[in-house]
Amino acid sequence: MNALLIALLISLSSLAHAEEIRIPLGEQGDISIEKPQKGQLKAEVEAQFGEPKDWTEAKGQPPISSWQYENFVVYFESDVVIHSVLVHKRHKD
């Protein structure tokens, strides 16, 4: 009985020390995918990656807009890239 109790406590203690790893959604996926860099102009992004498949009009002050490509979304302040994030794609199992 004591051996069973000790084995149970040891197995439970190993669960209490499990490490949790969190990866921000924008950093998940294939990091080898090239995407626009902060500071690029809209014209440079379009020349390098082509026309976006969709976009949002500029809103607010300063004006923020976005362009959607297949693998990433680019956010602009006026005509300058402020951020690019990978599009999350669920794996089909």
pLDDT by position in tens, the chain (length 93) = 677 777 766 666 555 556 777 766 555 556 678 999 999 999 999 999 999 999 999 999 999 999 999 999 999 999 999 999 998 777 665
**Residue 47 covered by a domain:** yes
Coil, helix or strand at residue 69: coil
**Residue 8 covered by a domain:** no
Give the pairing type, strands 64-68 and 72-77: antiparallel
CA dist list (Å): 13 to 5, 9, 17, 20: 12, 6, 7, 16
pLDDT number for residue 69: 96
**Residue 38 covered by a domain:** yes
**Residue 17 covered by a domain:** no
**Residue 84 covered by a domain:** yes
Provide the whole-model pTM: 0.65
Coil, helix or strand at residue 48: helix
**Residue 74 covered by a domain:** yes
Q: How many domains does the chain have?
A: 1
| Residues of the domain holding 66 | 34-93
Instruction: Answer for the pair 74, 84: CB distance below 8 angstroms, yes or no.
Output: yes
